[in-house]
Amino acid sequence: MTSESDRDRDESGRPRNSRPRDVLGRPLPPGSQGVPRISEDLKLAPDETLRYAQRLLDDGLAFHAHEVFEAAWKTGPAAERALWQALAQFAVGITHIQRGNPRGAAALLRRASDRIDEVPRPLPYGIDGDGLIESAQTIAADLDAGADITPSRLRPRLLTEA
């Protein structure tokens, strides 16, 4: 059993998990070869964050998109924290679909939808809040009904079309 003092920690003493992970973000046994991780201290401009996360979603790497959004909420302004957290939850919901957990996915997608809906409009940076809410709610309802979700539905458009 790992004691509290044996945990991997960052410079400020906060716990972090440096275990290798598979392509869907599941922890692998220590010493395994995992896929590259997104740095916890990644700091990008909001438009770069959105472009990077969109590429990851388009490549079927929703867990990695979640990590990009998580970095944005941890390093960005406090006023935007709820937005980035909602986007991270949306990506985690997709990750749960990819991992075969429809019940957990539906719950996370609904939570993400509710949180996006709470962010004052218009959303910054061209984020398509209404489209993301509709996508999350529709996928969650389809999961509840036992429908298969095609991979194309797991690649939501983050930005409104120009």
- The model's confidence at residue 134, banded by pLDDT at 50, 70 and 90, is very high
Q: 87 in a domain, yes or no?
A: yes
More confident residue, 134 or 26: 134
- Into how many domains does the chain fold? 1
How many Å separate Cα 15 from the centre of its chain?
A: 20
Q: 94 in a domain, yes or no?
A: yes
Which whole number is the average pLDDT over 7-26?
A: 68
Q: What is the CATH number of the domain that holds 67?
A: 1.10.3450
- Is the pLDDT at 67 greater than 70, yes or no? yes
- Is the pLDDT at 126 greater than 50, yes or no? yes
What per-residue confidence (pLDDT) applies to 7? 52
In tens, the pLDDT along 136-149 reads 999 999 999 999 99
Q: 54 in a domain, yes or no?
A: yes
- Is the pLDDT at 1 greater than 70, yes or no? no
Which amino acid belongs to residue 31?
G
Q: Which domain holds residue 147?
A: 46-154
Q: 28 in a domain, yes or no?
A: no
Q: 148 in a domain, yes or no?
A: yes
Q: What are phi and psi of 21, to 5 degrees?
A: -130, 155
Q: 59 in a domain, yes or no?
A: yes
Q: 6 in a domain, yes or no?
A: no
What per-residue confidence (pLDDT) applies to 4? 47
